[in-house]
Structure 1
């Protein structure tokens, strides 16, 4: 099955995926008035610093990475929306139990697939590009480059601003080297659903996660 690994290397993607938001300094004081560029710059810089300082993360300790993602990444990501968009129309027909299982397995798939590449994080810095004018808060793209040894890595974040008290920016899609995560996985997920339904897709993710868990 063609997947995201055919479009760019796992080593490049990991720093990008986990650079979304393993920030250790996020606080409510930032939420209401922080510009989207400042939000991305802050959390990505803090993330790279965290990884550089933590040998277990760089060595691909999956349990520690999972803990970090749950504690630090998920508060900044609308993962339910990300999973729903990747699934397509079948999401609305799924039961709550199927939706939860799919979210859980999708998260494990992303983390386990790319965790080993954290050892490649060394001297990278994130450069945030000027925001394109005229964008809406519900679908806003911040363009960045991850620079270090080798060629710069294009990394774009699609954000939405949450309303009400404690409003702030949430990430719901990533573009790495021209490939949007949701679009890529929707192609894969649609094939699985068309072949066997939602349960077949979940079973496929479970099998892939078990396979990944057995690899060094």
Structure 2
């Protein structure tokens, strides 16, 4: 069940950024909850208006994710947190390879799942904290034909770039911590290069299936 929730959650995490068509200045001025609400709402409209996206076209979804989603995530922070203490011991080349393989893993694993968002409704809870806070927690509720999904987004405000998403909690399960657990097992037995090799093999397998 947790695997299903994580799959849905990352889909929604990506969704929060996928429809970002406005200028960066807008994202910088928006409240964090408005940022999430606007992007989820715009994504729904984008999917409804595109037959290929509604049908789950993997190539088109992947291109959309790569072009519009990744720039709105703090992906280096997400990768470093997922790798854990071994990240600091990794060379710059190893860090880049892990990040590239991790990115490809997420693209292949979740791009096609975005189409299911077209019929869901979104509500957000008030954000606690001050207007000058640089890191905030945004809580959302996604309702569809099935079970209601409770989501927590962790956002940080980056100077000159606006809000960035760096972690997500769905039904009590944090995305980054879940990957950290998986990665730790690989690193403990095979080292950082072993993790890179494992991710590369998984990506090759996913590409063949796609």
TM-score (norm 2): 0.89
Given that 2:149 and 2:171 are in contact with CA atoms closer than 8 Å, whether structure 1 keeps it comes out as yes
Q: What residue is the counterpart of 1:149 in the other structure?
A: 145
Q: SS where residue 150 of structure 1 aligns?
A: coil
When the two structures are aligned, how many residues end up with a matched partner?
210
Structure 2 Cα separation of the partners of residues 153 and 206 of structure 1: 31
Structure 1 Cα separation of the partners of residues 149 and 131 of structure 2: 23
Unaligned regions of 5+ residues in structure 1, if any? none
Cα distance, 1:167 vs structure 2: 4.6
Note if 1:61 corresponds to 2:57. Answer: yes
Judging by fraction of residues, say which structure has more helix. Answer: 2
Per-residue Cα deviation, 1:25-49 (whole angstroms, up to 9, x for no partner):
2213313321111111111111222
Given that 1:14 and 1:118 are in contact with CA atoms closer than 8 Å, whether structure 2 keeps it comes out as no
Q: What residue is the counterpart of 1:207 in the other structure?
A: 201
Unaligned regions of 5+ residues in structure 2, if any? none
**Closer/same/farther in 2, CA of residues 189 and 4 from structure 1, 3 Å limit:** farther
Q: What residue is the counterpart of 2:171 in the other structure?
A: 177
Cα distance, 1:174 vs structure 2: 1.2
Q: Structure 2 matches for 1:1-216, cutoff 5 A?
A: 5=3, 8=5, 10=7, 12-13=8-9, 15-133=11-129, 137-163=133-159, 166-215=160-209
Structure 2 Cα separation of the partners of residues 109 and 91 of structure 1: 18
Structure 2 Cα separation of the partners of residues 14 and 85 of structure 1: 16
Given that 2:17 and 2:68 are in contact with CA atoms closer than 8 Å, whether structure 1 keeps it comes out as yes
Given that 1:22 and 1:50 are in contact with CA atoms closer than 8 Å, whether structure 2 keeps it comes out as no
Given that 1:58 and 1:117 are in contact with CA atoms closer than 8 Å, whether structure 2 keeps it comes out as no
